[in-house]
Every structure is written in structure tokens, then in C-alpha cells.
Structure 1
Amino acid sequence: MNLKQLEAFVEVAQSGSFSKAARKLFLTQPTISAHIAALEKELDVRLFVRNTKEVALSPDGQKLYTYARQILDMTDRIRMEFGRHAQEEKTCITIAASTIPSQYLLPEILARFNEKYPGEQLRILESDSAQVAEQVAEGAVDIGFTGTVLEKKYCTYIPFYKDQLVVITPDQPKYREYQQMGKDIYWIQEENVIMREEGSGTRKEAEKQLRHLGIRAERLHIIASIANQETIKKSVIQGMGVSILSRLAAKNEVESGQVLQFPIPDSDEGRDLNLVFNKNHPLSRSVQRFIRTVREMYGIEK
């Protein structure tokens, strides 16, 4: 037996699925099946009880899982401790991220990753969602974080966070009256609107949600398109107009009473923020660790 076989065995045991284990380890399902078959043949035992929906550990499989987990944990410790592995794996992970995940979610992710793997180096590039997807598709970066899904060759998206968009306005009597009128936001068609820049995932999603309400972007009186959301928020506070931003981005200003917040009707749970990687490019162990950290933090099914 070898470590690859044990790693495959542990992932199948933890996820209850050969296909989920394959996605987690960035392998094909036949490869996972071959690893398990080789272990069963060598040990002359049946490791899993299979049915149509899932697989579960057999009594022999439960015994092996305890030992395999210990072996893999010890292997990770050895690799982290000794220099040869450090030289092989001390690579810089290049991450492209759109504004919302970059400013409001990545700091916590990076801190968790650094805590678990202090020897790793990270390089963060901030741009809009369209550019992030392009960089991932071209292999210019290892991982991307986007606020929208753009169909790019070889890009695989993992939704990891639900983000809601809100309309923000100055804290003025007119808008306080709007708050008393209920959920209707059709009044936005009569207002000066400040939008995020073209290519922004926030803008694409805002236009999509408004279109669902029968409000088309061309009906809006858009007076400015601005990339920097801090500038947008300050412009709204000054009474220049209203805007549509991520609830994450507007949180501090709403709580401090500088702006009013209006949910967008029928937007359900919100939009997905996504981790994206190029499935056609080999992922280093460092990148796999990073993706695993995000999955663990946000409870993403493996």
C-alpha cells in the first residue's frame, strides 16, 4: 500500500462518496476506485459497504480508518518539519479576487490559512470579476474569487458564500418615507443612481435582480460608474444619488446611520461568491491546501 491509496481511502470514508473524494483530491473517480480496489486486494478485506446512494465503512474499514488517519496526520507533520518538503512546497500562491471577497472575506481566510500553514507565501491581486475569470482561464493566477460566474474554458467554480445586494440611500426624510412604504423599490427609476464599474460582479448581479423585478438598466438614471465602493458610499452619504452594493460593503455605514438600506425584493438568499480554479492546470499541494481551508471554513461539501 502507499500514501496515495490511504489518502483516497480516508477521503471516501469522510465524504461517503467516491465522486466527492475525487473532487476533493483533484483526481478522477476511476483513479479513486483503483486505489480502493488495490487496498482491498492487498489486505484481503472489504473496506466499504456500498448501496445506491452512498458508501459506508465496513467493520474492517473502520479499523483501517483509525490507522490511516494517524499515518496521514503524521506524514503531514513530517513534511512540515523537514527542509526538503519545505523547499519543494514553499511556493507563492497567486490569488486574483474581485472587490467584495477581497476586502471582506479574504482577510479572515488568509489569517486561517497562515495559522495552519505558516510557511506559505501569498500574493493577492484585486480586480473585477471578469478579469479574475480571465486570469484563471489563462493560467496567470492559481486561484480566483469572483462575485459572478463567467463561462470561461476550464474554469471550475465552487460557491462558498451567499452575499445579498441592497439599495443604499442617504439618510434623508424622503428615503425614510420609502422605508415605510414596504418592499417596493420601483422608485429607484426616479433617482440618480451610482453603479459599480462595468465587469463588476456586483453590477452584473444588480442588473440581473432588477431585471427580475421588471426594472431594466436602461431605465435607470445612471450618473456615475465607479470602481471604488468607498467612493460610492461617500457619494451616497453626500446625497449625490443612490446605489446598489453588497450588504457586506454597506454594513458599517448602515449600522452607524450614515445610509439607509433597502433589500431587493424576491432576491432569495442572494448571489454566490465563488472560488474558481483552472481544472486543466495541475494544482500544487499548496493550492490544494488553500482550497481545503476555504471548504473547511465555510462548511462546503467535499
Structure 2
Amino acid sequence: MTLSQLNAFLAVYSCGSISKAARELFVSQASVSESIARLEEELGIRLFLRSSQGLVPAAAADELRPHALDCVNAARRGSEAVKSLHSLTGGVSTFGVLRYAANYDLANLVVGFHEKYPDVRVRMIGLNSELVAQSISSGEIECGLVVLPVSGNNLRFKKLAQDEVRYFSTTREADAGAVTIEEFAAAKLVLYDAHAGWNDPTRRQLRERASLAGLTIEANMEVEHAETAYNLVAAGAGDSMMASGILRSFGPDPKIRSFPFSEPLYDIIALVQREHGYLSPATRRFAALAERAVLNQPGLTPLA
């Protein structure tokens, strides 16, 4: 069984005709007929039946088709991968990033990638991690960076680094110590990522802790952007929590004091892709660049 035979089989399957398949493949009808005959001889069964409408796939052809597609596509991808060792001269890389990539100084990933591979188009999509994971699971995005935990089917994660999540306030005393989940649940809270809500990975961890303690957490104010939440806390509207890397990106504010949680809380940044999904050569290169950027990020604790 050869790739040329499988290509001929797939063409006949979709065209329903030896002559149409030959024109599609730019080969002779005799070549297509011989490929089908050799396949049928090897398998010991008829693949196509003749009818007034042309060639109709037999049950064996229906069984063979998905495997033939896998083989042909795997060969094409292998060729692309080997060629990409020398250069990337086209294609599109679709990559998802955690929403606050800019706060971690990851927004320049596209610039760095484009400098190395100017002929490759890049789609870098910044969403809440939960939405990035769903988009990868559905196949809309090939690969991405997320903060764990997220939900999604058939996903493979590579943990890269962690960042401590801290409570911050303008009213809490500087020597008050670590924040318990009981204090957090009782506080006047300003929380961001309103659209994702309690599907947000950091919020999800806190809600699970509160649930174990028999508590509920309610936000007094919910906003969409972390910077808005930071400014509201600075104005005395309430308290909040945020990963240290995001807090640092807003610069020092003498009014704001940050505190650890009594049970340390971390955002874990991970590279995620579908369990058996294919990454284009361009996206593999982009993912490697993103991984290095995370591991070299000041203030993060590498896990990889």
C-alpha cells in the first residue's frame, strides 16, 4: 500500500469516477485504475461498485477512507516539518495567550517571531484562560498559554511557571499578616474578568477554598479589566487579589499594600494543546518562543 495508491483511492472516492480522479491528480486514467486494482488485490476485497451514476464506494471503502486520510495527511505534515527545519516560508500560526500577556511583557512575542519568520502570518488571540482552553479544545486555536485550572476535553498541559497571587488593599494594616479565606470571603471585594466570572482560574481556586470552609464569596463590584480593579482599590472602593506579575506591571502605589494568602495561592502558567492535535510547523516554533519567554520572565518561578 503506497501513498500514490491512497491518493488515487481518495480521489476516486470523492469524484466517483476514474477519469475525474485522474484529471484531479494530473495522471493518466490507467495509472488510477492500476492503483485501485493493486489496493483491492492487497486487501482482497472490492472497494468500488459500478452503478449508473459511476463508481459507488463499497463498505470496505468507507472503512478505509479515514485511515487513508490519516496516512496522506501525516506524510504531508512530515514533509512540512522537515522543510521547516531550514525555513518557514508561509502558513499561519494561531496561538492563544492569557489575557494579561502584556502585563507579563509577553506582547512582544509576535514582533520577535515576525523578525525571525517574516513570511508567516500570526493570529495571537488574547482571552481569559478558560476561553483559550475551550477554543483549543474545539480546534479554533492550535495551541496557547493559559493559567490553570481550566476545563476542556482532550487537552495536554505543560506547566511552565507559577506566580503568587496576592491580596491588595489600601485599608488593611501593613502588619496584619497573611489573609485567610474567611477574611477574604468577608471583605468588600472588587474583582475583574467579569465576563469569565467564576470560570476564571484564579477565582475558581478561591471559590473551591471557600466552599471547603463552608463559605461563599460575593464581589461588591465586578469589572472587566485588571487595571480598572487596581484603580478602584487605589481609590478605596474595596480590596482585591491579583497575580504578582500583573500587580508589578502597574507600578508602585504608596497607598496600596499587598499580602500573601495564609495558604499560598498561585497562578500556574501552562502551555496547552489538544491531546492528539496537530501543530503546524509555524505554531510549534511560536510555542517554543512563548515557552522561553515565560521561563525567562522575572518574578516567575519556573516549573518546567
What TM-score does the superposition give when structure 2 sets the normalisation length? 0.60
Which of the numbers 259, 263, 275 marks the counterpart of 1:262? 259
Show structure 2 runs of 5+ residues with no match: 1-82, 297-301
2: distance between equivalents of 1:165 and 1:241? 17
Give the secondary-structure state (helix, strand or coil) at the position aligned to 2:236. coil
Give yes or no for the alignment of 1:163 onto 2:159: no
Give yes or no for the alignment of 1:182 onto 2:182: no
**Could you say if the C-alpha distance between residues 282 and 189 of structure 1 is closer, same or farther in structure 2, counting changes exceeding 3 Å?**
closer
Preserved CA contact (<8 Å) 1:100 1:246: no
Taking the TM superposition and a 5 Å limit, the aligned residue runs for 1:1-302 are: 79-80=86-87, 86=89, 90-101=90-101, 103-170=103-170, 172=171, 175=172, 177=173, 179-185=174-180, 186-196=182-192, 197=194, 198=197, 199-208=199-208, 214=213, 216=215, 218=216, 220-253=217-250, 255-267=252-264, 270-297=266-293, 298=295
Q: After alignment, is 290-299 or 92-101 more displaced?
A: 290-299
Pairwise CA distance, 1:284 = 1.0
**Could you say if the C-alpha distance between residues 108 and 161 of structure 1 is closer, same or farther in structure 2, counting changes exceeding 3 Å?**
farther
Give the secondary-structure state (helix, strand or coil) at the position aligned to 2:161. strand
The one-character-per-residue Cα deviations of 1:129-178 (angstroms, maximum 9, x if unpaired) are 221111001110122221123342221111112111111112x4xx1x2x
Residue 254 of structure 2 aligns with an amino acid whose one-letter code is: G
Preserved CA contact (<8 Å) 1:209 1:264: no
Aligned residues: 212
Give the secondary-structure state (helix, strand or coil) at the position aligned to 1:202. helix
Pairwise CA distance, 1:182 = 2.2
Pairwise CA distance, 1:261 = 0.5
Residue 97 of structure 2 aligns with an amino acid whose one-letter code is: A
Preserved CA contact (<8 Å) 1:193 1:243: yes
2: distance between equivalents of 1:184 and 1:131? 29
Q: CA RMSD in A?
A: 3.0
Preserved CA contact (<8 Å) 2:159 2:303: no
Pairwise CA distance, 1:285 = 0.8
Preserved CA contact (<8 Å) 2:179 2:259: no
Identity %: 16
What TM-score does the superposition give when structure 1 sets the normalisation length? 0.60
The one-character-per-residue Cα deviations of 1:37-66 (angstroms, maximum 9, x if unpaired) are xxxxxxxxxxxxxxxxxxxxxxxxxxxxxx
Pairwise CA distance, 1:111 = 4.5
Residue 167 of structure 2 aligns with an amino acid whose one-letter code is: V
2: distance between equivalents of 1:248 and 1:209? 22
Residue 155 of structure 1 aligns with an amino acid whose one-letter code is: L
**Could you say if the C-alpha distance between residues 125 and 118 of structure 1 is closer, same or farther in structure 2, counting changes exceeding 3 Å?**
same
Pairwise CA distance, 1:195 = 1.9
